[in-house]
Amino acid sequence: MQPTAILIAGPEIAAYGFPHGHPFGPDRHDAFMRELERSPCAPRLERRSARPATREEIEYFHTPAYVDRVIAASRAGHGLLDAGDTPAFPGVYEAAANVVGGTLEGLAGIFAGPVPRAFIPIAGLHHAGRDHAAGFCVFNDCGVAIEAARRRHGLARVAYVDIDAHHGDGVFYGFESDPYLAYADVHEDGRYLYPGTGDRGETGRGPAAGTKLNLPMPPGAADGEFMAAFEQVEGYLEAQRPQLILLQCGADSLAGDPITHLAYTEAAHAHAAARLRGLADRYCEGRLLAMGGGGYDRRNLARAWTRVVEALT
């Protein structure tokens, strides 16, 4: 059977997770894979492993001083990388570098052809800023991939779409003044959820003022509200005409997630992935890279991400 999408998976990225009952535990990868293997789309995937990103690649987005701090914390094997959500563990640098390298492998696969779509489950670490860790995120693979798409693959216009319950602040503020990154984010209103940002009035700064789309949703919002908001995302992308679409499809926006308050079903994720696939076919020669993102109820993440992969295949 001819593959119709690339899957980046395996122990290299499964190792990215925090110990001692942390919501972002290392069991998330296998919870997803068990569900995916039962899907009729499983034989249509071209499977690849992640590789460690080089330091140079990580520094496409992050500052050298911050990379030094992560290396030191990884060697020490304990302590916190941010104010409290993101603990260091032995090997955290290597695990985080594998996530970045996995996302870059997906991107390279999209450009190498013949399959222009890829999914990586343990990725989409959208809270990490250029010089800091935040919200379970050490290195921001989304930010590195955006920079790599420009520097390596010569794209001028990239779109980043984020449907995780949390605002993608690391990506948003990393490119807030950059008019060439189209940014659309549907998330739980920051008055009720970490990180507290992503107000509708946040549309970019300086040369990028008025170019970004933030759509906060009230707690309890369900599929109907999501799909109405997603129509705005589609209209926005049509106007932006990107050459590549990145999707952060966090599953913590589904009902029952232990740390958020939205109430979508996996139909929301299937809808978003299918609509973005259509837009990618129209404007981007099919190029679509989806990253798992958050999701702390194992059953929810397994189902939502599997529906996304089905839409990509």
Q: Please say which residue, 58 or 304, places its beta carbon nearer to Zn ion.
A: 304
Residue 88 CA to residue 79 CA, distance in Å, equals 6
Residue with tokens 């999501």: 226
Beta carbons of 158 and 181 less than 8 angstroms apart: yes
| Smallest distance from Zn ion to CB 252, Å | 4
- Compute how many residues bind Zn ion; rule: CB under 5 A: 6
| Smallest distance from Zn ion to CB 292, Å | 10
Q: Please say which residue, 117 or 166, places its beta carbon nearer to Zn ion.
A: 166
Ordered DSSP codes for 6-18: EEE-SHHHHT---
303 is a site residue for Zn ion (CB under 5 A)? no
Q: Please say which residue, 106 or 250, places its beta carbon nearer to Zn ion.
A: 250
Cα dist. 162→125, 167, 168, 253, 308 in Å?
11, 8, 7, 11, 13
| Smallest distance from Zn ion to CB 128, Å | 13
- By Cβ distance, which residue is nearest to Zn ion? 294
Site for Zn ion in 196-235 (CB under 5 A): none
What is the biggest distance separating any 2 CA atoms in the chain, rounded to whole angstroms? 49
Ordered DSSP codes for 37-65: HTSTTGGGEEEE---PPPHHHHTTTS-HH
User: Per DSSP, what are the bridge partners of residue 48?
Assistant: 8
Ordered DSSP codes for 208-271: GTT--EEEEE-TT--HHHHHHHHHHHHHHHHHH--SEEEEE--GGGBTT-TT----B-HHHHHH
Task: Determine phi and psi for 245, rounding to 5 degrees.
Answer: -115, 130
Residue among 12, 35, 57, 164 that touches Zn ion (CB under 5 A): 164
| Smallest distance from Zn ion to CB 75, Å | 28
Residue 138 CA to residue 121 CA, distance in Å, equals 16
| Smallest distance from Zn ion to CB 44, Å | 28
166 is a site residue for Zn ion (CB under 5 A)? yes
Q: Please say which residue, 111 or 194, places its beta carbon nearer to Zn ion.
A: 194
Site for Zn ion in 118-157 (CB under 5 A): none
Beta carbons of 279 and 246 less than 8 angstroms apart: no
Choices 190-198, 208-216, 225-233, 294-302 (CB under 5 A): range interacting with Zn ion? 294-302
Residue among 53, 141, 294, 311 that touches Zn ion (CB under 5 A): 294
| Smallest distance from Zn ion to CB 122, Å | 13
Q: Please say which residue, 108 or 259, places its beta carbon nearer to Zn ion.
A: 259
Residue 4 CA to residue 20 CA, distance in Å, equals 38
Q: Please say which residue, 13 or 165, places its beta carbon nearer to Zn ion.
A: 165
162 is a site residue for Zn ion (CB under 5 A)? no
| Smallest distance from Zn ion to CB 120, Å | 16
Q: Is 20 exposed, middle or buried (0-12, 13-18, 19+ CB in 10 A)?
A: exposed
Site for Zn ion in 242-271 (CB under 5 A): 250, 252
| Smallest distance from Zn ion to CB 135, Å | 7
Q: Please say which residue, 101 or 168, places its beta carbon nearer to Zn ion.
A: 168
How many other CB atoms sit within 10 Å of the CB of residue 200?
10
Site residues, Zn ion (CB under 5 A): 164-166, 250, 252, 294
